[in-house]
Amino acid sequence: MGWYDRIAGWYDPFTAWIYHKPRTQLIEYLKINRGDRILIVACGTGQSFEMIQQKLENTGEIIAVDYSAGMLHTARKRIKKNHWKNIRLLHEDARNLSAQYFLRRGIEPNFDVLIGELAFSVIPDWEDVMKTTASVVRKGGRVGLLDWYRKKNDRLTKVVNYLAQAEVSRDTIGFARKLFADFRVIAWFLSGNVYVGVGENA
Ligand SMILES: C[S@@+](CC[C@H](N)C(=O)[O-])C[C@H]1O[C@@H](n2cnc3c(N)ncnc32)[C@H](O)[C@@H]1O
């Protein structure tokens, strides 16, 4: 049983309020339209599903990937409770994602939007995963990231790295700037430690 399986039960009560504002901003800035097809990497319990659905109005499709059965269990309960029919959960290691992976499952690797919330600071081989997931977004599609970024290796960094099994010093912003046209941080939260950034797939 992995870390996120163990903490899945208390993940929402402990974190939902912390990230509510940044998530709201991210979804606003992504300019999601009815009918959009959205890929969420490391979706966890699906805390942003509801905000996205308000934009989609239950049209389009959300493909949400995570490798923790525990986190996906909560996501599944959320979907059932809300009677959502347009969300497909994939229990998969994000490192295995590729155009072929989606095609084999009957999913067009041509998404309108890619979302990574608290994802790329956690996923191993994150640069490869960002590249491959970017490659399945259509030209002109949008990308939205929400993540920690903290260079200082102080106590807070150590606590966050431990609790999230993350590496918050990763330069996810710099990498996203190289990968996506016009990637920009639109806001900082939690005393300048958590950013929300959006860009376009070139
Ligand atoms: C901090 S949580 C964020 C969850 C969710 N995106 C959110 O914003 O609440 C990190 C998530 O990354 C997932 N994860 C970590 N490594 C992964 C990998 N290699 N493949 C898929 N999911 C992964 C964990 O299972 C966990 O759900």
What are 91-128's pLDDT values in tens digits? 999 999 999 999 999 999 999 999 999 999 999 999 99
Please state the rounded mean pLDDT for residues 157-185. Answer: 97
The rounded mean pLDDT for the chain is: 97
What number does the ligand 1 atom closest to the CA of 11 have? 9
Report whether 198 contacts 144 (CB < 8 A).
Answer: yes
Please classify residue 187 by burial: count the beta carbons closer than 10 Å to its beta carbon, then call 0-12 exposed, 13-18 middle and 19+ buried. Answer: middle
**For atom 17 of ligand 1, which residue has the closest CA?**
123
Extract the tokens encoding 22.
């940044």
Q: Residue 102 belongs to what H/E stretch?
A: helix 99-104
Domains with residue ranges and CATH for the chain: 3-200 (3.40.50.150)
Extract the tokens encoding 119.
């994802």
Share of the chain above pLDDT 90, in %: 98
What is the distance between the alpha carbons of residues 93 and 143, in angstroms, rounded to a whole number?
Answer: 20
The rounded Å distance from CA 139 to ligand 1 centre is 26
What is the distance between the alpha carbons of residues 141 and 172, in angstroms, rounded to a whole number?
Answer: 19
What is the distance between the alpha carbons of residues 136 and 113, in angstroms, rounded to a whole number?
Answer: 10
- For residue 181, the model assigns a pLDDT of 84
* pLDDT tens digit sequence for 41-79: 999 999 999 999 999 998 999 999 999 999 999 999 999
Ordered strands of the 194-200 beta sheet: 87-91, 61-66, 37-41, 111-117, 137-148, 194-200, 181-189
The rounded Å distance from CA 97 to ligand 1 centre is 14
Report whether 6 contacts 70 (CB < 8 A).
Answer: yes
**DSSP state at residue 95:** G
Ligand 1 neighbours (beta carbon < 6 A): 4, 42-44, 47, 66-68, 71, 93-95, 117-119, 122-124, 164
Please state the rounded mean pLDDT for residues 29-40. Answer: 97
